Amino acid sequence: MASSPPTEPTEPTEPTEPTEPSEPTEPTDEPGYAAGRASRHTSAPPGGTDPSGSAEPAPVDWEALRLRAVELMERAYAPYSHFPVGVAGLVDDGRVVAGCNVENAAYGVGLCAECGMVSELHATGGGRLTAVYCVGRDGAPLMACGRCRQLLWENGGPGCLVMTPEGVLPMSEVLPQAFGPANLGGGDARP
């Protein structure tokens, strides 16, 4: 399986005011950036484009993704665990897709928030996830479970950026040595 080159860190900038999702910016005072870690990723992985069709990747508005994830978290159906989760993802064409967890009395068939987000991704035209922000009840970054890391890998690939409690990391670090379509011997080797 081919992997993308490591993502180069960008230099921090002065704090910016939050903007509308249509005007992506880089937050500099966002909680969750790990000190000393190259976590100020601001662009889509190689090959992503902004909505205008430019070859340059669109910057990630992490605050807009966080706010959308919080909005969906508030709609979660979690009567058993009382642990609502919301997630929002930026698609390579500029769309934002989102989801929330939906529990069931048959505990094993509950759906994680990422499942809802990936379902919306495909229901609204497909594409590749370039950035993902998942939150719990307090609105802070929440790490995806193992099953959901696999979903993110399959729908975003190694360069998809994920906000984690340790800061922004590419999927290649969130799910190292990932199993993917190429391991199955052909077909759509998406990542």
Pairing state between β 86-91 and 167-170: unpaired
Please pick, among 26, 63, 103, 114, the residue that the annotation labels catalytic: 114
Tell me which amino acid residue 147 is: R
Residues 6+ apart with CB under 8 A from 170: 4, 6, 7, 41, 45, 158, 159, 160, 161, 162
SS3 118: helix
Is 114 an active-site residue? yes
Rounded to whole angstroms, the Cα distance separating 21 from 24 reads 6
**Residues labelled catalytic:** 114
